[in-house]
């Protein structure tokens, strides 16, 4: 299906047009204590939300990680905050995303090696430099039937978001070039 056919389909039926459900920004430090606190501060400054700390699932002796220790932090952004953060974060990767970054449901993710590359962020020697993973989840109207608590049902095969549709949506809304 071509891009014009996809856009025409969205105009005919607005329920089929995708939207950004959420953006999850993850910083995995690998150590509890001061490095994690610095990462939390960086993530709070970047997103404007208080990050949630995540625990290690298992012990890895070589890395000095114990099960149950806090080793990462993440933030979930929705609606306008998600779009604003995405526009800043995508400028780091030159507004280009590879086709391989999209999964079969239209979600995509990319990594940022240094947080100081994001526009408006200055280097602070006390904090240091952190990398992060940005995962974007796309959905359509009507996906609530899959997640609601009462009378949960499956989404029909014709209503499931495809990677091609997600790529067209990302091109149109965020101005990203698909490589």
> Rounded to two decimals, what is the model's pTM?
0.86
- Lookup: tokens for 132: 């992060």
3 in a structural domain: no
Burial 99-130 (b: 16+ CB within 10 A, else e): eebbeeebbbbbebeebbeeeeeeeeeebeeb
Asked, for residue 150, whether it belongs to a domain, the answer is no
Give the model's pLDDT for residue 109.
Answer: 93
Q: Which of 69, 75, 77, 70 is nearest to 20 (CA)?
A: 77
Domain count, the chain: 1
The tens digit of pLDDT for each residue in 157-178 reads 888 899 999 999 999 998 888 8
Where residue 116 falls among pLDDT bands split at 50, 70, 90? Answer: confident
Coil, strand or helix at 86: helix
In this predicted structure, the answer to whether residue 125 has a pLDDT above a threshold of 90 is no
For residue 137, the domain's CATH number is 3.30.1440.10
Report yes or no on 162 lying in a domain: no
Give the model confidence (pLDDT) of 29-82 as tens digits: 877 788 888 889 888 988 889 999 888 888 888 877 888 888 889 999 999 999
Question: 161 lies in a domain?
Answer: no
Across the range 95-122, mean pLDDT stands at 89
Give residue 142's pLDDT. Answer: 87
Residue 152 in any domain: the answer is no
Classify residue 6: in a domain, yes or no: no
Q: If you average pLDDT over residues 126-142, what whole number do you get? A: 89
Residue 174 lies in a domain: no
In a domain, 177, yes or no: no
Range of the domain at 93: 19-142
């Amino acid at each position: 299906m071509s891009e014009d056919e996809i856009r025409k389909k969205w105009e005919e039926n607005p329920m089929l047009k995708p939207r950004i459900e959420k953006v999850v920004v993850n910083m995995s430090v690998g150590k509890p204590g001061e490095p994690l606190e610095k990462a939390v501060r960086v993530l709070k400054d970047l997103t404007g939300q208080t990050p949630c700390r995540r625990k290690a699932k298992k012990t890895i002796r070589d890395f000095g990680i114990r099960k149950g220790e806090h080793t990462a932090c993440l933030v979930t952004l929705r609606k306008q905050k998600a779009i604003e953060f995405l526009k800043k974060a995508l400028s780091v990767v030159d507004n280009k995303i590879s086709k391989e970054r999209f999964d079969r449901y239209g979600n995509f993710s990319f990594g940022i090696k240094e947080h100081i590359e994001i526009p408006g962020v200055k280097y602070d020697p006390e904090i240091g430099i952190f990398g992060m993973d940005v995962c974007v989840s796309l959905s359509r109207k009507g996906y609530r039937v899959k997640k609601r608590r009462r009378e949960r049902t499956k989404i029909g095969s014709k209503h499931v978001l495809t990677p091609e549709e997600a790529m067209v949506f990302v091109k149109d809304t965020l101005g990203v070039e698909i490589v």
